[in-house]
Amino acid sequence: MDGTLNVSPPKIIQGGMGAGVSWWMLAQAVSKLGQLGVVSGTAIDLILARRLQDGDAGGHIRRALDHFPFPDVAARVWDKYHVVGGKPADQPYKSVPMHSQKPSREIVELCIVANFVEVFLAREGHENPVGINFLEKIQLPHLPSIYGAMLAGVTYILMGAGIPTRIPGVLDRFAHQESATYSIHVSGANNGCETSMVFDPREYLKGSLPELQRPYFLPIIASNALAALMLQKSNGRVDGFVIEGPTAGGHNAPPRGKLHLSESGEPIYGERDIVDYGKIRELGLPFWIAGGYASSQKLREALAVGAAGIQVGTAFAFCEESGMKREYREHLLNESRAGRARVFTDAIASPTGFPFKVAQMENSVSEAGTYQGRNRICDLGYLRETYGKPDGSLGYRCPSEPVDIYLSKGGAVESTVGRKCLCNALMANIGMAQTRKDGYMEQPLITCGDDLAGIARFMRPGGGSYSAADVIAELLS
Ligand SMILES: Cc1cc2nc3c(=O)[nH]c(=O)nc-3n(C[C@H](O)[C@H](O)[C@H](O)COP(=O)(O)O)c2cc1C
């Protein structure tokens, strides 16, 4: 896989949707149809642990683990988390160790295995490429995650929410089974702080290591400037871009320049946020356009400006193969059909500081009343910020954790206002809500793009839902 893209580029990329929304079943369905299915690698270690505690219905994880090339590692994960028949609904899920700059062996193993399993299952039953999506901001799990996905033969790695200039070099090193280093962002780092992470496959996997392919790398970005920067500054090959606009689901890039909010509190995008596709084309790499492009008309428009195709999220998030909890999916589809669906771009909910699109839904975190009854807790920690302590050691804090704890770690009180615990909410979105000792059940916070308003257009006549194949047929029509 040296040189430029030598598989024929897909017209449609099914966007990676965390956490667990674009799971292996959706990606498999899309890739089987000859487009690019993308699994989400976000918090996939936690999701695997919870799926195992739910009993591994259908035995899919067991089947994937039987193909993991290092059986002792697979056995440790299975033995630790699998519950025959699933745990009782009112019993909490076990916790998994949090990621850190010096992670425990247990979480590294779980992370390698979980990324392997997700890609392995998405690749079953066909020969077509599969991709995996990560968020650059969630840096601590990057190395074992990428390695696990490569072990399963992932063809594309797509990465948004940040400027991932240091990932191409990691892919090159892993393709040669060499150890890789990744430098993490540390707020207030001082000279004594150790800011790099190292992953040596041989430290975790005993025996001969299989040959690996170097996946193609597609950063997901929102501006010409970032595309050019990626090419100038990357420590290895970039194979193309996904250019994502502010109507897309999930996290959005903030507007360029000073943040201005509308009366309803949503970020205002302006002239400076408009992408010049001519300039992107001049960079000479394939690109896909994302954010409100889920129609045959928009696909044609994208091709006309020189794109290889489009990346689509929301339309797939609500199809039958999506990992979103069925009840929420059906509810929002009905809302869309009835013309009531509303999406709000929340500038402050996400601990990442990026604007985050939220479908308005009763009994969810989007309803302030429901959320205020929740005691703050940070027990998953994917969105924690790493910060430097005066003694040179590292600490981890999240503006959604209990306020006094956040302040004791040097966090600013303003940063805590309006923050939501995305980690727990996103698990609730896919039917894996944590139950607290006091009986509180974590609530969902569904993210999706502005396209939610129109998704009922994919529904089969007389039917209550639609499949990934329906979306693809419509887009290619
Ligand atoms: C439920 C949902 C979750 C998403 N999560 C991610 C994510 O984890 N990483 C990412 O790069 N993009 C994420 N996105 C963005 C999609 O990959 C895609 O680029 C975007 O949705 C395209 O715009 P559209 O929704 O108008 O089709 C998400 C979108 C949705 C709807």
- Tens-place pLDDT, residues 376-428: 999 999 999 999 998 889 999 999 999 999 999 999 999 898 888 999 999 99
> What are the pLDDT digits (tens) for 339-384?
888 888 888 778 887 888 888 876 555 655 556 678 899 999 999 9
Nearest protein CA to atom 29 of ligand 1, as residue? 249
In a domain, 337, yes or no: no
In a domain, 412, yes or no: no
The total number of structural domains in the chain stands at 1
Q: How far apart are CA 51 and CA 366, in angstroms?
A: 26
In a domain, 454, yes or no: no
| pLDDT for position 372 | 66
In a domain, 389, yes or no: no
Q: How far apart are CA 330 and CA 309, in angstroms?
A: 29
Q: How far apart are CA 63 and CA 389, in angstroms?
A: 44
CA 74 distance to own-chain centroid: 23
> What are the pLDDT digits (tens) for 273-288?
888 999 999 999 999 9
Residue bearing the bigger pLDDT, 342 or 99: 99
Atom of ligand 1 nearest to the CA of 448: 31
Atom of ligand 1 nearest to the CA of 160: 11
Identify whether the C-beta of residue 123 lies closer than 8 Å to the C-beta of residue 28. Answer: yes
Range of the domain at 177: 12-323+459-476
> What are the pLDDT digits (tens) for 302-341?
999 999 999 999 999 999 999 999 999 999 999 999 888 8
Q: Which residue has the tokens 């890039």?
A: 253
Q: Which residue has the tokens 């959005």?
A: 252
Q: How far apart are CA 24 and CA 4, in angstroms?
A: 27
Tokens of residue 58, six digits: 């259908």
In a domain, 153, yes or no: yes
Tell me, in angstroms, the distance from the centre of ligand 1 to residue 221's CA. Answer: 12
Identify whether the C-beta of residue 156 lies closer than 8 Å to the C-beta of residue 168. Answer: no
Tokens of residue 103, six digits: 């992670």
pTM: 0.95
Choice from 221, 247, 314 to test ligand 1 binding pocket (greatest atom count within 8 A of CB): 314
Beta strands in 236-384 (DSSP E): 241-244, 287-290, 309-312, 343-346, 356-359
Atom of ligand 1 nearest to the CA of 42: 8
Tell me, in angstroms, the distance from the centre of ligand 1 to residue 337's CA. Answer: 21
| pLDDT for position 254 | 85
Tell me, in angstroms, the distance from the centre of ligand 1 to residue 162's CA. Answer: 14
pLDDT at residue 3 greater than cutoff 50: no
pLDDT at residue 300 greater than cutoff 90: yes
Ligand 1 is surrounded, with C-beta below 6 A, by: 15-18, 21, 40, 42, 133, 135, 160, 220, 244, 247-250, 290-292, 294, 311-315, 317, 447-449, 451
What CATH code is carried by the domain that includes residue 214?
A: 3.20.20
Phi, psi of 290 (to 5 degrees): -130, 150
Tokens of residue 252, six digits: 């959005």
In a domain, 368, yes or no: no
> What are the pLDDT digits (tens) for 162-205?
899 999 999 999 999 999 999 999 998 887 888 899 999 999 99
Atom of ligand 1 nearest to the CA of 159: 11
In a domain, 369, yes or no: no
Pairing relation of β-strands 130-135 and 37-40? parallel
Q: How far apart are CA 225 and CA 228, in angstroms?
A: 5
Q: Which residues contact 180 (CB under 8 A, 6 or more apart)?
A: 143, 169, 170, 173, 174, 198, 199
In a domain, 200, yes or no: yes
Indicate the helix (H) or strand (E) that contains 335: helix 326-337
Q: How far is CA 156 from CA 11, 118, 458, 461, in A?
A: 14, 14, 27, 35
